[in-house]
Amino acid sequence: MSNLKNTLREKIEAWRPRTKMLLEEYGNTVIDKVTIGQAIGGMRGIKCLVTDISYLDPNEGIRYRGYTLPEVFKLLPKPKNAEMPYVEGLFYLLLTGEIPNEQEVLDLVDEFSKRRILPRYVYEVIDAWPCCSPPMAMFSSAILAMSRESFFAKKYKAGINKNEYWDPMYEDGLNMLAKLPEIATYIYAKLYREGKRIVGNPNLDVGANFAHMMGKAKPYDDVTRMHFIIHADHESGNVSAHTAHLVGSSLSDVYLATSAMINGLAGPLHGLANQEVLRWLQEVMERMGGEIPTEEELRQFVWDTLHSGQIVPGFGHAVLRKTDPRYMVQREFSLKYLADDPIFKYVDMLYRIVPQVLIEQNKAKNPWPNVDAQSGVIQWHYGVTEYDFYTVLFGIGRSIGIVANLIWDRALLYPLERPKSLTTDMLEEIAGIKEKNLTHELGDD
């Protein structure tokens, strides 16, 4: 058994009594009340999910296992001649809560490398898509197809003890994570490089190998590491993480749950916003004939977008109430490497203008930029200009947190997720604006 798996087994055994005691002795303790506004309004802020992998503070931003992003980037081991840490090290941290040492990371680099080869049929599934298909749909289908490899599904069928559920989930999770860069770069080659694929190099870590398969020189390896690390997790309530948790709660395998989460990530209010930012910026540039606009011209463009009933992509957040630290990590990188890039100059100007406009409009609860406002611009700078592909990159990163969560969901035996719904009549009765209507009792599933 690998060192990581042994470490994880010890952690799980130590953690289980905590969950058990909370459930058995404090199960009726009230956390929060739910309002009608929350029930209709997308369940904003209802505290009804548990994860120890990350926590999103509205004013501070994300912490992975208690560490802020600057701490994560400082503490995780880095490859030689690299500015950004190993992606594999982040997975170790998310899974165990511990900062790995160099050897522990290298063991994991080796594990990922051994598990990265794709079954033949995955290429065939991707090849079966007609040209110009949406990359996220292709990505989701390739992951879904691999459900036939699931150890968890096989073990479940054979009658595994539920205390051991997490073990085949771990195997499935590592197998899938190791393959995602191969799948993504194959999709990229098929859609944008006339199928000319660059075969992976088993001697490289995830970040360097991804850069290699994309045909990109340094520092794209560091861009990749940074990108995958900052997108890995954002606690459990966001659409992608929540979808994976929900689907996984029916004991679906890692592939089924991850494919579903990719579908949620593909929406423009969530992960797709990173490519929407680029599309929107292109419109600005076109209108300006490629010239850098004045602040006044850009302000007008933002207002035009809002007046036409559209959102400004890359700004606002359902939980955060300040500038996203994931945006700041990328901004620091961009100030160092992209400062003279005209498209970065646009983004820099937006950073100063959009919040003022959104504050003036007085609708968005958070006028500040989120992770998506900056990530596409960095990809563009390094020659990945096919912005339809950007959400696939987000999807690889997010899968790291998804897998860590799914393994712990199984380890702590979190049950089937099944909240209760009400009818509008019932809400009106609760609000006291309508008499109780006894004909509207609900049946069960």
Ligand X SMILES: CC(C)(COP(=O)(O)OP(=O)(O)OC[C@H]1O[C@@H](n2cnc3c(N)ncnc32)[C@H](O)[C@@H]1OP(=O)(O)O)[C@@H](O)C(=O)NCCC(=O)NCCS
Cα(414)–Cα(50) distance, integer angstroms: 9
Burial of 413 (0-12, 13-18, 19+ CB in 10 A): middle
Burial 269-289, CB ≥16 within 10 A → b, else e: ebbbbbbbbbebbeebbeeee
Task: Give min distance, CB of 326 to ligand X, in A.
Answer: 9
Look up residue 57 and give its two tokens: 């503070």
Task: Give min distance, CB of 330 to ligand X, in A.
Answer: 13
- Give the residue with the Cβ less far from ligand X, 248 or 367: 367
- Give the residue with the Cβ less far from ligand X, 136 or 191: 136
Task: Give min distance, CB of 423 to ligand X, in A.
Answer: 23
Total residue count of the chain as it appears in this document: 445
Residues with a known catalytic role: 270, 317, 372
Residue 255 contacts by C-beta under 8 Å, 6 or more apart in sequence?
A: 143, 144, 145, 146, 147, 149, 150, 172, 176
Look up residue 370 and give its two tokens: 């989120």
Give the residue nearest to ligand X (CB): 316
* DSSP H or E stretch at residue 174: helix 166-192
Contact (Cβ atoms closer than 8 angstroms) between residue 107 and residue 116: no
- Give the residue with the Cβ less far from ligand X, 41 or 195: 41
- Give the residue with the Cβ less far from ligand X, 258 or 375: 375
Helix 120-127 and helix 135-145: axis angle, to 10°? Answer: 150
Q: Within 10 Å of residue 137's Cβ, how many Cβ atoms?
A: 13
Judge if the upstream peptide bond of residue 219 is cis by omega within 30 degrees of 0: yes
DSSP state for residue 56 in the 8-state scheme: E
Which residues bind to ligand X, rule: CB under 6 A? 269-270, 273, 306, 311-318, 363-366, 370-372
- Give the residue with the Cβ less far from ligand X, 79 or 271: 271
Cα(68)–Cα(61) distance, integer angstroms: 8
- Give the residue with the Cβ less far from ligand X, 82 or 311: 311
SS3 64: strand
Cα(376)–Cα(280) distance, integer angstroms: 11
Cα(90)–Cα(399) distance, integer angstroms: 12
- Give the residue with the Cβ less far from ligand X, 54 or 175: 54
Backbone angles phi, psi at 29, to 5 degrees: -70, 130
Task: Give min distance, CB of 56 to ligand X, in A.
Answer: 11
Task: Give min distance, CB of 372 to ligand X, in A.
Answer: 5
Cα(154)–Cα(149) distance, integer angstroms: 9
- Give the residue with the Cβ less far from ligand X, 77 or 376: 376
Contact (Cβ atoms closer than 8 angstroms) between residue 206 and residue 88: yes
Task: Give min distance, CB of 365 to ligand X, in A.
Answer: 4
Task: Give min distance, CB of 285 to ligand X, in A.
Answer: 19
Task: Give min distance, CB of 441 to ligand X, in A.
Answer: 32
Quick one: CA torsion of 88, 92, 97, 98, rounded to 10 degrees?
Answer: -90
